[in-house]
Amino acid sequence: MAKFLLRRLANYVILVAVATSCAYILAAISLHPRANFEGRNPPPPEAAVDARLTQLNLNDETPVLQRYKTWAKGVLHGDFGKTWEGESVNAEMGRRIGVSLRLLLIATIVGGTLGVLAGAWGAIRQYQFSDHAVTMLSFVILSIPVFVLAVVLEIAAVGFNNATGAKVFEYTGEFTPGLQGGFWTHAVDRVQHLILPSLTLILGEIAIFSRYQRSAMLDVLGQDFVRTAQAKGLRRRGALLRHALRTALIPAVTYFIYNFGILIVGATFTEKIFGWHGMGEWFVDSVTRQDTNAVAAVTCFAAIMILLAGLISDVAYAMLDPRIRVS
């Protein structure tokens, strides 16, 4: 099993290195930080702009490959360079990474678990009302783009707040700035801000995973080993949980990595709409501001996150499927 995981890890590290390098080179060709200086009033002298851009490793007159070399050397030493304003990309990333991680973790854990359970439940009650309801709901949610879902939830929250006359749901930012009070006041405030963005991502995750899990579970339910488990004296519940659900999890687990890229893009919309200062918001703002190094850093973050998701799904795969462990 260790050998299998090590081989997968090596494969992922190479993929991330290539992916991040491609992203940097594309960004270096496509984005022009020079425009930011030229747009200033009064326009600074060209020599000064050139010197500043060279200092930041953003000068479009330096060949791309040379800029890439400087950048890659920095990244290997753990330094992602500077933004076009001369600030450290690492420092900004440190501020933002936690915000995104919190959203991604909650959405993955809550959404994944509920989705798998909903799918399995639907499969057990195939063609009953609850099955149709779960299938239809997930179908509808999958047809709603994240940026529409987020705004619809926001409208519903505003309606709920107005109806109850209390500010139950918050929909801008991560917390209320300048809030006075003790630990609990702050904790409640954070949770109030967390609900809507998390719900946006969780709903999508539930929809996707319930679909995968339902079809995987249906394949398993009719098989002999589930009947055998019941025949040897296990209760139906035990047979379904220990044997059917476990086997049916294997395909869902392999979809995990495919799905994580979609989740990261979804988090980008969510952060932007709910005003969370996370990595996704930074990406959108940096592309708009033509900030090559920041864009490359966020892409690297996304690639590493997807790699981690891949590793987790490999470990889960090895745990669920004994054939992987033995060979």
Partner 1 sequence: MSVPSDQLATILPGQRPDGEEAALDETRIASRWSLVLRRFRRRRLAMAGLVVLVFLFLLAFVGPYLGQWTYTDHDFNAFLQGPSLDHWFGTTQTGGDVYALTLRGMQKSLVIGILVALISTGIAAVVGSFAGYMGGWIDRTLMWFVDLMLVLPSFLIIAILSPTFRGKTWLVFVVLLAAFLWLVTARIVRGMTISLREREYVLAARYMGVPAHRIIFRHILPNISSLLIVDATINVSAAVISETGLSYFGFGVQPPDVSLGTLIADGTQSATTYPWLFGFAAGILVALVLAVNLVGDGLRDALDPTSGF
- Which residue of 202, 226, 252, 257 would you call a contact of partner 1, by CB under 8 A? 257
Of the two residues 11 and 185, which places its CB atom closer to partner 1 in the complex? 11
DSSP 3-20: HHHHHHHHHHHHHHHHHH
CA dist 3 and 10 (Å) reads 11
First to last CA, the chain: 8
Residue 211: CB minimum distance to partner 1, A: 8
Nearer to partner 1, 284 or 319 (CB): 284
Candidates 284, 311, 315, 320: give the one binding partner 1 (CB under 8 A): 284
Amino acid at 256: F
The count of residues interacting with partner 1 (CB under 8 A) is 53
CB 311 to partner 1: min, Å: 12
CA distance 242 to 49: 66
Among residues 246, 261, 319, 320, the one that binds partner 1 under rule CB under 8 A: 261
Spatial distance between the Cα atoms of 294 and 285, rounded to a whole number of angstroms: 10
268 binds partner 1 (CB under 8 A): yes
Closest approach of partner 1 to the CB of residue 310, in Å:
8
Applying CB under 8 A, the span of 25-33, 80-88, 220-228, 316-324 interacting with partner 1 comes to: 25-33
Q: Should residue 262 be labelled a site residue for partner 1 when binding is judged by CB under 8 A?
A: yes
Q: Give 169's Cβ-side CA count (13 Å radius).
A: 19
Q: Least distance to partner 1 from the beta carbon of 26, Å?
A: 5
Burial class of residue 66 (count of CB atoms within 10 Å of its CB; 0-12, 13-18, 19+): exposed
* Position among 10, 64, 105, 152 found at the interface with partner 1 (CB under 8 A): 152
Residue 287 in the binding site for partner 1 (CB under 8 A): yes
- Pick the binder of partner 1 from 154, 174, 205, 314 (CB under 8 A): 154
User: Residues 84, 36: contact at Cβ < 8 Å?
Assistant: yes
**Residues from 207 through 236 that contact partner 1 (CB under 8 A):** 215, 218
- 19 contacts partner 1 (rule: CB under 8 A): yes
For position 110 contacting partner 1 by CB under 8 A, the verdict is no
Query: Residue 291: CA atoms inside 13 Å, Cβ hemisphere, count?
Result: 23
Per CB under 8 A, 108 contacts partner 1: no
Query: Please, is 200 exposed, middle or buried when counting C-beta atoms within 10 Å of its C-beta (0-12, 13-18, 19+)?
Result: buried
Instruction: For residue 311, state whether it binds partner 1 (rule: CB under 8 A).
Output: no
* CA–CA dist 295, 184 (Å, integer): 37
Site string for partner 1, 125-144 (x = CB under 8 A): --------------xx-xxx
Residue with tokens 């450290």: 88
In terms of phi and psi (left: phi > 0; alpha: psi -120 to 50; beta: otherwise), the region of 242 is alpha
| Footprint of partner 1 on 27-86 (CB under 8 A) | 27, 29-32
Query: Binding to partner 1 by residue 297, rule CB under 8 A?
Result: no
What are the DSSP calls for 11-54, one per residue? HHHHHHHHHHHHHHHHHHHH--THHHHHTSSSPPPHHHHHHHHH
Contact footprint for partner 1 (CB under 8 A): 11-12, 15-16, 18-19, 22-23, 26-27, 29-32, 139-140, 142-148, 151-152, 154-155, 158, 215, 218, 257-258, 261-262, 264-265, 268-269, 272-273, 283-284, 287-288, 290, 295, 298-299, 302-303, 306-307, 310
